[in-house]
Structure 1
Amino acid sequence: MPRSQRNDNFIDKTFTILADILTQILPTTKREREASIYYRDGMSAQSEGEYAEASRSYYKAMRLEIDSYDRSYIPHNVGLIHTSNGKHAKALEYYFQAPERNSFLPQAFNNMAVICHHRGEQAIQRGDLEISEAWFDQAAEYWRRAIALSPDNYAEAQNRPKITGRSSPSHGWERRNNITENV
């Protein structure tokens, strides 16, 4: 029995039942149904803090899911797991994949910004001001992208570029590979 069907949470059970009904009613392939089951199992395990099990389920879902929009949420969730485990470089790798598949994923941009900002603070503590500026510029760019996609969310992020003097960045999305090499 899939993990998502064993969940004791009323809301999760209700969601699972509705999702099962939809996958039976809508024209889906066996592969798409399996991907959906693995994805839900991953979400269930992740919500319970079972990150290793959640990762395994997400990786299985990623191998099966062919729809790029649906697939975009999988690397985002894997990124969340790596962030929770303090593996920020690995988390960034997965967060970068999400908007490549679905450009309307403000939470991925916000999470990338949070990590970049954290890396900037770490660089300051090491005394490397040039690297910290690059990280802070990158964080500002990602926050701007998140805010552009979802203007009513990320209130704190809306003020951060103003506070840090980064309201017009000199560095953009294309710098991500240069910065991640320094992680």
Structure 2
Amino acid sequence: MPRSQKNDNFIDKTFTVVADILLKVLPTSIDEKRAFTYYRNGMSAQSEGEYAEALQNYYQALRYEIDAYDRSYMLYNIGLIHSSNGQQSKALEYYYQALDRNPRLSQALNNIATIYHYRGEQALINNQDEISKIFFDKAADYWKEAIRLSPTSYTKAKNWLSVRNK
């Protein structure tokens, strides 16, 4: 059964119906339609915690999607899954790829900063003060850029930066 038929809640069903109608009436290529369908199925699987299925769909979507902006969100979501699975290095790779295609993707900047902050904390626990400073500096740089792009977001990062700069 296609994922679009598995959606149980009203909002998901409504989105699926509207998306299907738009795919039929908008002048898009077959590849663009395929990319969107795989991406939509990936988002649905990801929201249900079906990460392996979501990854398969995102990878398929990347095969068909040519728009850099749209690809950035696919890559970002792949990064989210790897981060959720504890694979921070792999997540960073995908976040960086997303930023290469969409430098204004503040969510990716925030997630990169969060990973560096975590690594800084781990270095502190292991009495690696110099390494922790490097990671915290990187986190600060990425958070500053994320906040610049999205000034009303990332309150915790703003607080951390203000305490750090005292």
2:111 equivalent to 1:105:
no
Conservation of the 8 A alpha-carbon contact between 1:55 and 1:78: yes
Q: Pairwise mapping of residues 12-23 of structure 1 onto structure 2 (< 5 A)?
A: 12-23=12-23
The Cα shift of 1:80 comes to: 0.6
SS of alignment partner, residue 145 of structure 2: helix
Aligned to 1:55: 55
Q: Which residue does 2:73 correspond to in 1?
A: 73
Please list every run of at least 4 consecutive aligned residues from structure 1 whose deviation after the TM superposition is greater than 6 angstroms. none
Do residues 146 (structure 1) and 149 (structure 2) align?
A: no
How many pairs were matched up?
Answer: 166
d(CA) in 1 for partners of 2:68, 2:25: 21
Classify the secondary structure of the residue corresponding to 1:66: coil
How far the C-alpha of 1:4 sits from its partner, in A, is 2.5
Residues 153-162 or 31-40, more deviating = 153-162
Report what 2:26 is aligned to.
Answer: 26
Deviations along 1:22-48, whole A, 9 cap, x unmatched? Answer: 222221100010010110111111111
Match of 1:170 in 2: none
- Which position in structure 1 is the counterpart of 2:121? 121
Q: Residue 27 of structure 2 aligns to a residue in which SS? A: coil
Aligned to 2:6: 6
Question: Does residue 134 in structure 1 map to residue 128 in structure 2?
Answer: no
- Which residue identity does 2:53 align to in structure 1? E
What amino acid is aligned across from residue 120 of structure 1 in structure 2? Answer: G
Residue 155 of structure 1: CA displacement? 1.1
Q: CA–CA distance in 1 between the matches of 2:111 and 2:95?
A: 7
**Distance of 1:140 and 1:86 partners within structure 2:** 22
How big is the alpha-carbon RMSD for the aligned residues of Structure 1 and Structure 2? 1.3
Residue of structure 1 equivalent to 2:42:
42
Deviation of residue 60 (structure 1)?
A: 0.6
Query: Where does the alignment leave 5 or more consecutive residues of structure 2 unmatched?
Result: none
More displaced 10-residue stretch of structure 1: 15-24 or 149-158? 15-24
Q: Secondary structure at the match of 1:103?
A: coil
Give the TM-score of the pair, scaled to structure 2. 0.95
Q: Sequence identity, in percent?
A: 60
Amino acid at match of 2:8: D
User: 1:48-70 deviations in whole A, cap 9, x for unaligned?
Assistant: 11111111111111111101111
1:104-152 deviations in whole A, cap 9, x for unaligned? 2111111111111001101111111111111101101111111111101
Unaligned runs of 5+ in 1: 167-183
Distance in 2 (alpha carbons) for counterparts of 1:107 and 1:4 = 26
- Distance, in Å, in 2 between the alignment partners of 1:51 and 1:141 is 30
